[in-house]
């Protein structure tokens, strides 16, 4: 970890527009690669089981969604580690920043314990949902294996947020790339049974994910422990851990409640339309992750600069940083939207590999993909604003904003339109567009109000 590089990034963040752009891109491109590698893993899982039929495709993609619903609360809590480490780094206290990496690892350990306790309840939980029997059986096998990686998934996020906050986003990128390569290779071995391994189908995709994530986490953990031994940490403090939970829990519940609404949308609203519509929606969501993850990487890079600027007492730079970050993210997502409109069948072709269902899947997927082009700019705005507010410590408002808009607008609106009024998959996606538009507006009004300026995130922790 290069201290000179970190100091250079922080210093350029307080320069002119060109300097801020260079600082943003220097931080963001490794995060874009890191988040994009996660997208590659998701798409590889879907594409590499697609030849087994729509049931296997639906079980793997919806199973990954349901696993992520379990991961998202502790992952969301660890996102606050970046807020602390970036502000402390901006204040010139890297030793205190390292302690927050350990607090994030404590959250990961608790999450793994909770996952082990949850394993016996998977069959009964899936029995409450409207999946076809073959989809439910394959998803049960997937989730039983995938939840074993909870601690590794959360631990990677915790350490990635610590290293990112102090200006080193490349370490998480390397760990993510290792996990990506190992996962794709493991899929090739375990899904269809090669090199003497059994053919496990969706369960094989879960196994390769679990093994790859665990190895990548151990590598990043080794680097973190080495840095702590070399540079020191100081005594871990109960007050600091409680402060992490105070600000981190609203951040975690922000993602949890929003993702719970998304899981409701998938498992209740869309699953009731049949396996083809479910598989088509999951294919569209996988494709849209290509747009979301790079934009989220840019938003996270902008949030690091926001945190460092606040820590350095340069809050006057925050507005310019947020505008610049949104401009770059919006350019990317606009290009993606144009691709959806110009060539939807080409974008979805990798998922339509089963001849018996390809035509129906493409027809449903085409409708939803074209509609999804409408949410790209709203998604960019919501990501950038939410990450900037999180960096400032304004986690309670973002929690209430996402929870209220998702559960009072998106979830009931889509359910009524689809299940009561028979609106179909196009109506379901239209409600997702409306949700992102309303959320972006609410977060913009909050940021413009300047209430985040009155929040003190780290002063009490340092004291």
pLDDT exceeds 50 at position 431? yes
Lowest mean pLDDT among 53-62, 266-275, 326-335, 338-347: 266-275
Return the sign of the alpha-carbon dihedral for residues 442, 447, 448, 451.
positive
What single-letter DSSP state applies at residue 448?
Answer: H
Q: What is the mean pLDDT of the chain?
A: 85
**Tokens standing for 316?**
């006057």
Q: How far apart are CA 2 and CA 39, in angstroms?
A: 28
**Tokens standing for 257?**
């409640």
Contact by Cβ (8 Å): 143, 68: no
Q: How far apart are CA 96 and CA 108, in angstroms?
A: 20
Contact by Cβ (8 Å): 74, 107: yes
pTM over 0.75: yes
Instruction: Give the CA angle between residues 358, 363, 368 to the nearest 5°.
Output: 120
Exposure on the CB side of residue 445, measured as CA atoms within 13 A: 7
237-275 tens-digit pLDDT? 888 899 999 999 998 898 888 888 887 887 778 777 777
Pick from 219, 5, 235: nearest CA to 102? 235
Q: How far apart are CA 317 and CA 434, in angstroms?
A: 31
Q: State residue 41's pLDDT score.
A: 84
5-51 tens-digit pLDDT? 444 444 455 557 778 888 888 888 888 888 888 878 887 888 888 88
Spatial neighbors of 141 by CB under 8 A, at least 6 apart, are: 200, 201, 202, 203, 206
Q: How long, in residues, is the chain? A: 463
pLDDT exceeds 80 at position 291? no
Q: How far apart are CA 55 and CA 67, in angstroms?
A: 17
Q: State residue 459's pLDDT score.
A: 61
Q: Give the rounded percent of residues in the chain with a pLDDT score beyond 70.
A: 94
383-409 tens-digit pLDDT? 999 999 999 989 999 999 998 999 998
Instruction: Give the CA angle between residues 142, 148, 149 to the nearest 5°.
Output: 100
Q: How far apart are CA 445 and CA 377, in angstroms?
A: 16
Q: How far apart are CA 31 and CA 299, in angstroms?
A: 10
Question: Is residue 264 left, alpha or beta, with left meaning phi > 0 and alpha meaning psi from -120 to 50?
Answer: alpha
């Amino acid at each position: 970890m290069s201290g000179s590089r970190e100091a250079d990034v922080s210093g350029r963040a307080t320069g002119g527009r060109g300097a801020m752009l260079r600082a943003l891109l220097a931080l963001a491109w490794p995060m874009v690669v890191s988040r994009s590698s996660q997208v590659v893993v998701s798409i590889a899982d879907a594409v590499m089981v697609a030849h087994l039929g729509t049931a296997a495709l639906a079980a793997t993609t919806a199973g990954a969604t349901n696993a992520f619903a379990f991961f998202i609360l502790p992952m969301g809590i660890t996102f606050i580690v970046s807020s602390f480490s970036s502000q402390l780094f901006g204040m010139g206290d890297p030793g205190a920043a390292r302690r927050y990496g350990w607090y994030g690892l404590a959250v990961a350990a608790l999450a793994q314990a909770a996952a082990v306790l949850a394993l016996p309840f998977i069959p009964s939980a899936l029995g409450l949902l409207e999946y076809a029997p073959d989809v439910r059986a394959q998803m049960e096998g997937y989730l039983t294996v995938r939840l074993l990686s909870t601690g590794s998934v959360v631990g990677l996020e915790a350490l990635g947020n610590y290293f990112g906050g102090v200006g080193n986003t490349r370490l998480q990128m390397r760990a993510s790339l290792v996990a990506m390569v190992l996962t794709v290779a493991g899929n090739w071995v375990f899904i269809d049974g090669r090199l003497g391994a059994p053919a496990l189908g969706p369960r094989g995709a879960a196994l390769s994910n679990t093994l790859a994530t665990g190895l990548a986490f151990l590598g990043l953990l080794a680097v973190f422990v080495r840095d702590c031994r070399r540079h020191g940490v100081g005594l871990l403090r109960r007050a600091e851990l409680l402060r992490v939970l105070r600000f981190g829990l609203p951040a975690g519940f922000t993602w949890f409640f929003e993702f719970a609404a998304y899981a409701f949308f998938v498992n209740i609203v869309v699953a009731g339309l049949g396996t083809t519509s479910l598989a088509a929606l999951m294919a569209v969501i996988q494709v849209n992750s290509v747009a979301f993850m790079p934009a989220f990487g840019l938003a996270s890079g902008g949030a690091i600069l926001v945190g460092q600027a606040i820590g350095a007492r340069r809050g006057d730079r925050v507005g310019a940083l947020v505008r610049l970050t949104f401009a770059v993210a919006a350019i990317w997502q606009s290009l993606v939207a144009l691709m959806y409109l110009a060539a939807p069948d080409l974008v979805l072709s990798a998922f339509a590999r089963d001849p018996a269902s390809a035509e129906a899947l493409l027809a449903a997927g085409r409708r939803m993909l074209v509609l999804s082009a409408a949410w790209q700019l709203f998604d960019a705005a919501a990501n950038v604003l939410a990450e900037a507010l999180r960096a400032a410590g304004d986690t309670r408002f973002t929690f209430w904003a996402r929870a209220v808009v998702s559960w009072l607008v998106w979830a009931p609106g889509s359910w009524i339109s689809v299940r009561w009024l028979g609106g179909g998959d196009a109506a379901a996606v239209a409600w997702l567009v409306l949700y992102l538009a309303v959320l972006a507006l609410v977060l913009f009004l909050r940021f413009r109000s300047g209430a985040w300026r009155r929040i003190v995130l780290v002063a009490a922790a340092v004291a």
